[in-house]
Amino acid sequence: MHDPRMTDLARLLASHSTALQPGEHVLIEAFDIPDAMVIELVQACRDRGAHPHVALRSNRILRSLVEGGADAQFETVAASDLDRMTRMDAYIGMRGGFNINEMAGVPADRIKAWGSHYMKPVHLKQRVNHTKWCVLRWPTASMAQLAESSTASFEDFYFNVCTLDYAGMAGAAAALTARMNRTDQVHLMGPGDTDLRFSIKDIPAIACTGSHNIPDGECFTAPVRDSINGVIHYNTPSVYQGQSFRNVRLVFKDGRIVEHDAESGGEHLAAIFDTDEGARSVGEFAIGFNPYVREPMMDILFDEKIAGSLHFTPGQAYEDADNGNRSDIHWDLVLIQRPEYGGGQIEFDGEVIRQDGEFVVDDLLPLNAENLVGS
């Protein structure tokens, strides 16, 4: 049976998210996605005069390839996929999956090698910096379970959050971009012993309102690398490299992670932060404000957009908000500052701009959830 919500989402991706133009080539990479949605997206791209290309992927097959793969294998497939990516004007990545821990147990050295030999050249360097790209998850029963929802209710939530008025959100986010661009010192306080200071001076701020992720709703920049001092205690669970983590706590001195622990998953932290020189530095600071995304579900494309949240990301910086940090990792860890999660505040140059997850200065009030829902 035809689902008109798929048609609406496909049109959003081809128009608002990637703004496809006649004659452009777009790669659709689909991990465990229903054929019907891929077909809808192919048609939406063609409706705009673009040339769709499709790569069908399976997470279980990917696990099999990575866990026993040799560096030479990864380099060969990367060379092939990089050649194709360089020919693309746009990229749409649809990522489904039946098990969020599919990569659990894969040897750490193979995960690292896959990141270094494949993900870094194909995605972090080429796709991110040289295509119009958008990445989104696909609703599955496993995601519904993590969200403590029925499958049908989760699908309703998913399509609501993925097809909201992103153009209206873009207008509201312009003021936050402007504030971040003129800010030097940032002070974060929150639950646990979170008390962190750093500078974002002269590093561009970028509003994300449906152009790179669906769902979307964040504004990101990067900290000046050696300016970070203090403690951040994340209160949102995370899955990274196939492992689950809860309550990760990081201590920074002059921009470097000097201590780390976690309520669960702590035994894996040293390996992650020792991946390379840049893994103990931070490549992104972002503020989340999607009005429909309220609770964590251990899926970072949703969790990093949670209303009243922020993320502070060890690893690779984006080149359009670049502090010079380079790494094979980019781990978005999320701190929610709404009252039910312990509260907290964000200060820009000594002025509180968000308190307990709510923006409190006049120019940023349109980004609060009650205003975005009606935008």
CA dist., res. 253 & res. 191, Å (int): 20
CA dist., res. 371 & res. 27, Å (int): 35
Provide the pLDDT for residue 374: 56
* Mean pLDDT of the chain, nearest integer: 94
Which structure tokens are listed for 163?
A: 């097809």
Q: Is a pLDDT exceeding 60 seen at residue 261?
A: yes
CA distances from 39 to 58, 133, 135 (A): 17, 19, 17
Contacts of 53 (CB under 8 A, 6+ apart): 25, 26, 27, 28, 84, 88
Which structure tokens are listed for 151?
A: 């499958």
- How large is the average pLDDT for residues 171-200? 97
Q: Which of 26, 18, 34 is nearest to 138 (CA)?
A: 34
- Which domains are seen in the chain, by residue range? 4-162 (3.40.1830.10), 166-372 (no CATH)
- How large is the average pLDDT for residues 225-247? 94
* pTM for the full predicted model: 0.78
Rg of the Cα atoms in the chain: 20
Looking at the chain, the whole-number percentage of residues with pLDDT higher than 90 is 80
Between 239 and 88, the more confident residue is 88
Between 159 and 181, the more confident residue is 181
Grade residue 224 by pLDDT with cuts at 50, 70 and 90: very high
Which structure tokens are listed for 13?
A: 């991706």
Provide the pLDDT for residue 146: 77
Which structure tokens are listed for 229?
A: 């001092």
Give the range among 216-225, 246-255, 353-362, 366-375 with minimum mean pLDDT: 366-375
Could you write out the DSSP letters of every residue in 289-309? -BTT--S--S-HHHHTTBTTE
Q: Is a pLDDT exceeding 90 seen at residue 98?
A: no
Which structure tokens are listed for 308?
A: 């009243």
Q: Is a pLDDT exceeding 80 seen at residue 110?
A: yes
Where does residue 362 rank: exposed (0-12), middle (13-18), buried (19+ CB within 10 A)? exposed
Could you write out the DSSP letters of every residue in 136-171? EE---HHHHHHTT--HHHHHHHHHHHHTS-HHHHHH
Contacts of 290 (CB under 8 A, 6+ apart): 161, 215, 216, 217, 218, 305, 306, 307, 372
Grade residue 375 by pLDDT with cuts at 50, 70 and 90: very low
Provide the pLDDT for residue 299: 83
Q: Which of 331, 140, 303, 148 is nearest to 237 (CA)?
A: 303
* pLDDT tens column, 37-96: 999 999 999 999 999 999 999 999 999 999 999 999 999 999 999 999 999 999 999 998
Which residues are bridge partners to 167 per DSSP?
none
Q: Is a pLDDT exceeding 50 seen at residue 128?
A: yes
Give the range among 183-192, 250-259, 296-305 with minimum mean pLDDT: 296-305
CA dist., res. 286 & res. 72, Å (int): 36
Which structure tokens are listed for 131?
A: 């295509």
